[in-house]
Amino acid sequence: MFPVVVVHGGSGDIPKERSRQSTEGVCSAARAGYAVLRGGGSSMDAVVEVVSQLENNPAFNAGCGSVLNVKGEVEMDAIVMDGKTLGSGAVSAVCHIANPIQLARLVMDKTSHACLTSEGASLFARSMGVPEVPPESLITEYSRMRWRKNLAPGSNPVECQMGKMGTVGAVAVDGEGNMACATSTGGMLNKMEGRVGDTPCIGSGGYADNQLGAVSTTGHGEAIMKVTLARLILFYMEQGQSVEAASDSGLAYMKSRVGGLGGVVSVDPRGHWAARFSSLQMAWAAAQKDTVHYGLHTGEHFTQSIDDPL
């Protein structure tokens, strides 16, 4: 079994001028996660490192760079899950935190709860000494521009979701065979205040079980929740499908049953992995056996050595 980390940077339709940033972002995050695994770190350490790095990258819809709700504010959701214990931690609708994924991990490690929301999550963050950041520091010019465009009279909501992609997530298997997943998002563009998507919901935004595998999802949250996409894919794997076939089956079911599009990264206990999507694009990268694999469009699969410069 070779340790592996697989990363996504959100499913959707990415404008050309942002595709390079997305690909470079996921490759660099996959390398960071792989370095954690190579250094003997756990799969949980690796996925939290990957997602923290992408939350700090304004090109993605998570942490700094999150999309805005209808009021023009950031409200973020995140989840982690540990495949060894089935422990999980999540936060929803948080707005003063630079790295919601780290707060989600604290919920898992330091409380007996699975999810804390909004003000309660902020109170918990304060009690854990997590620094608060001004919410404006998470807002980029790009997200403000798209929010404005979407509010304009006569705006086309479909077109305005263009470039919406950017939710981030990762799955990993470490040298001990332990698996973990992590997912973080600013949610859907111009969502209602208080809207909580699939990301912090266990079995929807992610799931990890050492006996089955691990999955992190992205896509239309309301559709993902209807089919509990992450757990559905693991169910198909439990029934004997390969990690790739199960990922495709889950996405196909979501499309045919509820008309939802999305993408996933998945691993099985033997370190086989997949990055699959039904949307137009999904930036993804995987690192295993000192090789980085990556792609953006359907059918794309490039590789580089871990020793090559980015």
Residues that bind ligand ASP (CB under 6 A): 10, 167, 185, 187-188, 197-199, 218-219, 221, 224
Integer-rounded Cα Rg, in Å, for the chain is: 17
State the minimum distance, in angstroms, from the CB of residue 39 to ligand ASP: 30
Sort residue 261 into left (φ over 0), alpha (ψ -120 to 50) or beta: beta
DSSP string covering 112-156, please? S-SEEEHHHHHHHHHHTTPPP--GGGG--HHHHHHHHHHHSTT--
Query: Under a CB-based contact definition with an 8 Å cutoff, are residues 64 and 176 in contact?
Result: no
* Cα end-to-end span (Å), the chain: 26
Residue with smaller CB distance to ligand ASP, 178 or 217: 217
Residue with smaller CB distance to ligand ASP, 45 or 75: 75
State the minimum distance, in angstroms, from the CB of residue 10 to ligand ASP: 5
State the minimum distance, in angstroms, from the CB of residue 31 to ligand ASP: 23
Residue with smaller CB distance to ligand ASP, 224 or 227: 224
Whether 167 sits among the annotated catalytic residues: the reply is: yes
* Cα–Cα dist 273/271, whole Å: 6
State the minimum distance, in angstroms, from the CB of residue 68 to ligand ASP: 13
Residue with smaller CB distance to ligand ASP, 115 or 224: 224
State the minimum distance, in angstroms, from the CB of residue 6 to ligand ASP: 16
Query: Under a CB-based contact definition with an 8 Å cutoff, are residues 76 and 94 in contact?
Result: yes
Residue with smaller CB distance to ligand ASP, 143 or 178: 143
Q: Which two tokens mark 60?
A: 């993605």
Strands 115-117 and 87-94: parallel
Q: Which two tokens mark 72?
A: 């023009």
Which of 167, 183, 199, 218 is labelled catalytic?
A: 167
Residues in CB range of 176: below 8 A, 6 or more apart: 42
* Cα–Cα dist 159/128, whole Å: 41
Residue nearest to ligand ASP (CB): 221
- Catalytic site positions: 167
